[in-house]
Chain A
Amino acid sequence: SQQGEEDPQALSIQEGENATMNCSYKTSINNLQWYRQNSGRGLVHLILIRSNEREKHSGRLRVTLDTSKKSSSLLITASRAADTASYFCALNSGTYKYIFGTGTRLKVLA
């Protein structure tokens, strides 16, 4: 399966702390994306990193990509209670298909 594997499955932190979640995969990719899903809602795109990029930033989000290790990490700095959600990585291998990981459930305690 091409599905990404996310680690940890669940994460609980205090407000103000940083949250890091990881995505590992097995195939070569064109780009990797991160999505957020609030409970009972659809997924929302957060950030995209291409295979020739190593790091990208967007606000409090920092994404890294290591294609040699086939892994990516999403860092959320200075977390807030509103960041409580599930986070998914999505792999694109240059076709029309986007394969999602299993997700990390983040809980930020106020």
Chain B
Amino acid sequence: DAGITQSPRHKVTETGTPVTLRCHQTENHRYMYWYRQDPGHGLRLIHYSYGVKDTDKGEVSDGYSVSRSKTEDFLLTLESATSSQTSVYFCAMGQGAVTGELFFGEGSRLTVL
């Protein structure tokens, strides 16, 4: 509904393999975010982007990298997946602090065996 989609929605992989999650938006929002959600921790910010090629780290960025080569796509990469990265990953987009509202994707469930 909000013009933001994540792929894949589910992925099972093995420890040590690289994984890339994709977030695609059609709303031309400037800001994009990757969060992970784990029981007891709520949502924790991994990385965010404030424009094309402009990214910054969040609270739990170790082991993750991101890229934003165009406005509509924000990629999250796990260079070498570990079992501690088993989680549900959410992408979000927004116009910034002025309007405030974030729009979320439906989530990507990643299992690292």
Contacts and interface: CB of A to CB of B under 8 A. Distances in A.
A41 B4 CA distance: 13
A94 B96 CA distance: 9
Interface stretch (B12-20, B34-42, B63-71, B78-86): B34-42
Contacts of B101: 33, 45, 48
B49 to A, nearest CB: 9
A98 B106 contact: no
Interface residues of A, number: 27
A33 B100 contact: yes
A100 B107 contact: no
B45 A88 contact: no
Nearest to A9: B40
A77 interface: no
For the residues of B in contact with A, the DSSP-based class is strand
Interface in A21-41: 30-31, 33, 35, 40-41
Contacts of A98: 33, 45, 92, 94, 102
A5 B88 CA distance: 20
A101 B47 CA distance: 17
Given A42-B105, A45-B101, A97 B45 contact: yes
Size class of the B contact interface (CB-based, 8 Å) = 20 to 34
B74 interface: no
Given A96-B31, A97-B48, A103-B42, A44 B104 contact: yes
Interface of A: 1, 3, 6, 30-31, 33, 35, 40-45, 48, 88, 90, 92, 94-103
29 contacts: A3-B42, A6-B42, A33-B100, A41-B106, A42-B90, A42-B104, A42-B105, A42-B107, A43-B43, A44-B104, A45-B102, A45-B103, A48-B100, A48-B101, A88-B42, A95-B97, A96-B31, A96-B48, A96-B50, A96-B56, A96-B96, A98-B33, A98-B45, A98-B94, A98-B102, A99-B45, A99-B59, A100-B35, A101-B42
